[in-house]
């Protein structure tokens, strides 16, 4: 009985820690995305395809984002349903909230009045921060958002380097978004180039740290 209770408590603790780590990663992503958004030079590929669906089908941006996520989630079920878990739900429903929080925190600094050089720096920093946040939450390995999951699933299924998978997915959804009439710009290009490599590094070291920590707990 005591062993059963101990196991349940251990599982609950693990669940809560994983959920908290995913939320931290999504919050970091939200801050970085908000930085790119407020520069107004184009944002991440996911935003481009979301905007494209919004323009092409004359529906709200929020509804468009949900439809895009549902579509990719269906594809992900067929590619690798094992990576669908609590993180998938959190990424789907909380990413927008964390981006709004990021905008709320950064907007008072009036980034629209900054010089071109300062905006370029903010844009690149925003892209780096976004990639770090994405890599951190994916590295928790407790469920992944639909679009991010596409890169992970392709990497696992076809043994293609994660960075290449991410570049491929980002390019495809950006092109589709542009063809549908979505907005894009320098920020979109920066996001495509740097997100994959940075995510790959962060995922690698995040998972190594977690494995080392788990082994220490077992000992």
Dist CA 31 CA 148 (whole Å): 17
- What pLDDT, on a 0 to 100 scale, did the predictor assign at position 75? 87
Let me know if residue 53 belongs to a domain. yes
> From residue 117, how far is each of 110, 114, 120 by CA, in Å?
15, 8, 5
- The reply to whether 44 falls in a domain is yes
Please give the residue range of the domain that contains residue 88.
21-213
| pLDDT at residue 171, rounded to an integer | 96
pLDDT of residue 60: 76
| Burial class of residue 110 in the structure, from the number of CB atoms within 10 Å of its CB (0-12 exposed, 13-18 middle, 19+ buried) | exposed
pLDDT at position 218 is 54
In a domain, residue 142? The reply is: yes
| Angle between the N-to-C axes of helices 146-158 and 61-80, in degrees from 0 to 180, rounded to the nearest 10 | 20
Question: For 172-214, what is each residue's pLDDT tens digit?
Answer: 999 999 999 988 999 999 999 999 999 999 998 887 777 676 5
Report the pLDDT value the prediction gives residue 3, as an integer from 0 to 100. 54
Q: Is residue 2 part of a domain?
A: no
Question: Could you give the number of structural domains in the chain?
Answer: 1
Positions of the chain with pLDDT lower than 70, given as ranges: 1-10, 62, 211, 213-219
* Residue 9 within a domain: no
In a domain, 84, yes or no: yes
Does 150 map to a domain? Answer: yes
The closest alpha carbon to 144, from 209, 196, 89, belongs to 89
What confidence score (pLDDT) does residue 1 get?
53
The torsion of the CA quartet 27, 97, 196, 153, rounded to 10 degrees, works out to: 110
User: What is the predicted pLDDT for the residue at 14?
Assistant: 83
pLDDT for residue 166: 94
How far apart are alpha carbons 56 and 190 in whole angstroms? Answer: 25
Helices 146-158 and 86-106 pack at an angle, to 10 degrees, of 130
**What pLDDT was estimated at residue 136?**
93
């Amino acid at each position: 009985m005591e062993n059963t209770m101990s196991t349940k408590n251990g599982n609950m603790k693990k669940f809560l820690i994983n959920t908290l780590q995913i939320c931290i990663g999504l919050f970091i992503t939200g801050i970085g995305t908000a930085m790119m958004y407020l520069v107004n030079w184009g944002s991440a590929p996911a935003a481009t395809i979301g905007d494209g669906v919004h323009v092409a089908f004359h529906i709200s941006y929020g509804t468009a984002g949900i439809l895009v996520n549902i579509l990719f989630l269906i594809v992900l079920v067929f590619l690798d349903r094992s990576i669908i878990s609590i993180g998938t739900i959190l990424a789907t429903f909380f990413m927008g909230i964390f981006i709004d929080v990021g905008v709320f925190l950064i907007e008072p600094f009036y980034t629209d009045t900054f010089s071109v050089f300062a905006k370029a720096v903010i844009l690149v920093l925003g892209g780096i921060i976004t990639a770090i946040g994405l890599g951190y939450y994916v590295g928790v390995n407790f469920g992944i958002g639909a679009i991010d999951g596409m890169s992970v699933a392709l990497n696992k299924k076809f043994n293609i380097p994660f960075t290449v998978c991410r570049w491929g997915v980002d390019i495809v959804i950006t092109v589709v978004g542009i063809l549908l009439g979505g907005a894009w710009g320098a920020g979109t290009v920066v996001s495509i180039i740097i997100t994959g490599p940075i995510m790959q590094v962060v995922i690698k070291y995040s998972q190594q740290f977690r494995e080392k920590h788990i082994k220490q707990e077992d000992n």
